[in-house]
Chain A
């Protein structure tokens, strides 16, 4: 991909660096960022390796004992080995352990869940992932689109009736703690009115798969948690976008766009909103990174079968391999999202490319 841009023709127009120099700078910037994130990811992986080994005692043996106690049977040798690779083996030297650990990560082997013995952690994570992506992913996008759209409208006509109602109301609503919103929604719409189920992600009596009744039940179960997430997340986007739009609309280039006789929609989208969105955009990319971590509170309150709930359960039941695996994945996903945000920002704001 990068090679298509690299051999750009060298132009020597006065007043600025030639295109080739600019291209090198741009890709240099991306490579530096890439290096930074690679280093951060490596640090996360090493930390994940070191932490259990720094704990007093022998966590591997403790976990194995726990496994035997919970399941009432002997732990098979390959499980034993995988647990030792992650949590350390006092009898082995650190270098060998690290290599074994890396090999295991490469195979996406994160050990075995203590609570759900003998299901591997990776399998549980992969099971929970689609639910989280569905619920938190769509609502994050929805809240962003809704909040940003309304923010542009409010900011474009700052001081109008709409703005003077919407903006303070949103500020008030988004200051309500999420926990309250979720519990209240659950109580009113789930318990009192009975419109929505109280917990879960789908109707367990239906066959899982791409059939209409099952998908309908997914929608039905997901509606309430989704609504609460959108409700408490869109306000932040709205307020941020509104304020940025108010500032951007005062810019001369927006005035000039109007002077050019462009349609109002084009002025708003291509000049005002496009530029006002730049700061929000970074936040949005970060929020997308946070999606993998799931909405811990949402999934807990609504017992939604996603990563957040998985983490909550493992914290509750001291399922160390589970916690370890989820933390590692969440960390890596966040780094990836940040990298994505950085790279896309470079595409969206040409001024960044030059600075590096």
Chain B
């Protein structure tokens, strides 16, 4: 096991990862459902989530606060804590060396531990709290490096930590610093460097740039893109900031009340948002390159997941709702790679007379 991991890392260092290209999928998530089991009714914070992640792809996940983004992220990495329980679905991880696919939901703790960091790593929502305040930065790199490469000496591990820090623009001697001695942006970048320490195939990032200013945000995103190009890892990038994803992500999934309501390429979502919620999200941010447009928010508030609305969870806020939206839960239907869960786009459900355009009659 260990030697396999090592050869993987060597492979990375040789810079050939990118050459492996985007053959196949690295992650296939099917019907993933996560509930918070509390005294009352269980809160379904992720419901029937299905998507695939291609090798080296950046998948953005956007949604309002409370839509279940962090729940999805911790479920994907099997890091969820009680009362969160994965009640259904599978998360199939396909290692790049052609090894056997692993369903992370049913994998043993031991098997999971072997995958962690060498294949699957994470950048947490708040880099402020994600680093141990009483350990030097280098030590927090070194223990991960040495756990997955038993032959690595302590000095070599610290040297590697300094190298990794340098890749995100932090001077190597900062490895001897404690987290509180770094600025917020440095901590955030250090967390990203840490996530890349063992050459993972998949990095999940939970709002890695919310705590930093816009300039630093741009810098960090540019670094992620650059590193992705050289190292070839795939990313699931979670944020509530759709405009940021439009620049960064290859494809974007829109989450609402624990469900993916639309999934498509960044340009598809920007130019042709199909779900009324996606359109609302898009129109609540200033456009990046296109001419200015009136900004509109989405009326109403996200649903209380303890008592989700019947039918389509968005229908109470939806301007385009029609008869049956409050009783029928629309399925995520894919057409030409662009998936949407809205009855406006389901020919069998569409109201009569049908709206003239594919974007519906909302505007």
Query: Would B114 and A266 count as touching, CB distance under 8 A?
Result: no
Q: Which residues of A contact B117 (CB under 8 A)?
A: 259-261
**Residues of B close to A351: CB separation below 8 A:** 133-134, 178, 180
Residues of A within 8 A of B134 (CB): 274-275, 278, 348-351
The residue that B130 contacts in the complex, of A253, A263, A274, A278, with Cβ under 8 A, is: A253
Known: A256-B130, A270-B135. A261 touches B177 (CB 8 A): no
B133 touches A275 (CB 8 A): yes
Q: Does A47 contact B (CB under 8 A)?
A: no
A80 → chain B closest CB, angstroms: 57
The answer to whether B180 and A350 have CB atoms under 8 Å apart is yes
| Chain B, range 120-139, C-beta contacts under 8 Å to A | 121-122, 124-126, 129-135
CB within 8 A of A253: which of B132, B173, B176? Answer: B132
B186 is an interface residue with CB less than 8 A from chain A:
yes
B133 adjacent to A271 (CB under 8 Å): no
Residues of B within 8 A of A349 (CB): 133-134
Q: Does more than half of chain A's interface fall in helix, strand or loop, or is it mixed? A: helix
**Interface locus among A10-18, A131-139, A205-213:** A10-18
- Which residue from chain A places its CB closest to the CB of B182 in the assembled complex? A15
Question: Could you tell me which residues of chain B, from 157 to 190, have a CB within 8 Å of some CB in chain A?
Answer: 171, 173-174, 176-178, 180-183, 186
- Give, as a whole number of angstroms, the nearest-CB distance from B115 to chain A: 8
Residues on the A chain within 8 Å of B174, using CB: 13, 15
Partner of A261, one of B144, B171, B173, B186: B144
Which of chain A's residues have a CB closer than 8 A to the CB of B54? Answer: none
Q: Give the CA-CA distance A13 to B175 in the complex, in Å.
A: 11
A258 on the B face (CB < 8 A): yes
Interface positions, chain A 233-275, Cβ under 8 Å from B, are: 250-253, 255-263, 266, 270-271, 274-275
Residues of A in contact, count (CB < 8 Å): 33
Please report the C-alpha to C-alpha distance between residue A299 and residue B229 in the assembled complex, in whole angstroms.
Answer: 72
What is the CB-to-nearest-CB distance from B169 to chain A, in angstroms, rounded to a whole number? 10
- The reply on B350 being an interface residue by CB < 8 A is no
How far is it, in angstroms, between the C-alpha of A159 and the C-alpha of B37 when the chains are bound?
15
Contact mask for chain B residues 340-357; partner A; CB cutoff 8 A; 1 contact, 0 none: 000000000000000000
**B144 lies within 8 A of A262 (CB):** yes
Is A253 in contact with B118, judged by CB distance below 8 angstroms?
Answer: no
Q: A19 contacts which chain B residues (CB < 8 A)?
A: 176
Contact residues, B188-227 vs A (CB, 8 A):
none
Please, how many angstroms separate the alpha-carbon atoms of A337 and B147 in the complex?
Answer: 38
Give chain B residues whose Cβ lies under 8 Å from the Cβ of A354: 180-181
**Bound-state Cα–Cα, A255 to B82, Å:** 13
CB-CB under 8 A from A259, the residues of chain B are 77, 79, 116-117, 121-122
Residues of B within 8 A of A255 (CB): 79, 81, 124, 130
Most buried by A among B82, B118, B124, B134: B134
A349 to B126, CA, bound (A): 21
In the complex, the answer to whether A15 meets B131 with C-beta atoms within 8 Å is no
- CB <8 Å contact, A251 and B129: yes
Residue A22 at the chain B interface, CB threshold 8 Å = yes
> Considering residues A250, A260, A274, A348, which has the most beta carbons from chain B within 10 angstroms of its beta carbon?
A260
Contact B131 A253 (CB under 8 A): yes
B181 pairs with A257, CB closer than 8 A: no
How many angstroms between the C-alpha atoms of A354 and B182 in the bound complex?
13
CB distance from B318 to the nearest CB of A (A): 36
Once the chains bind, are A261 and B143 in contact (CB under 8 Å)?
Answer: no
CA distance A93 to B130 in the complex (A): 65
B235 to chain A, nearest CB (A): 15
Closest residue of A by beta carbon distance from B112: A261
Say how far B44's CB is from chain A's closest CB, in angstroms: 22
Task: Note all chain A residues with C-beta closer than 8 A to B122.
Answer: 256, 259
Please indicate the chain B residues that have their CB under 8 angstroms from the CB of A350 in the complex.
Answer: 133-134, 178, 180
CA separation between A257 and B147, bound complex, in Å?
11
Q: With A262-B147, A266-B143, A270-B143 in contact, is A257–B116 under 8 Å at CB?
A: no
The CA-CA distance from A256 to B204 in the complex, in Å, is 12
Give CA–CA (A261, B122) in the complex, Å.
11
How far is B173's CA from A15's CA once the two chains are assembled, in angstroms? 12
Tell me which residues across on chain B come within 8 A of A278, comparing CB atoms.
Answer: 134
Question: Is there contact, CB below 8 Å, between B177 and A258?
Answer: no
B182 adjacent to A261 (CB under 8 Å): no
Kindly list chain B residues whose C-beta atoms are within 8 Å of the C-beta of A251: 129
B113 within 8 A of A: yes
What residues on A are CB-neighbors of B178 within 8 Å? 350-351
- In the assembled complex, 5 residue pairs joining A and B whose CB atoms fall closer than 8 Å, in A order, are A256-B130, A258-B116, A262-B143, A266-B147, A275-B132
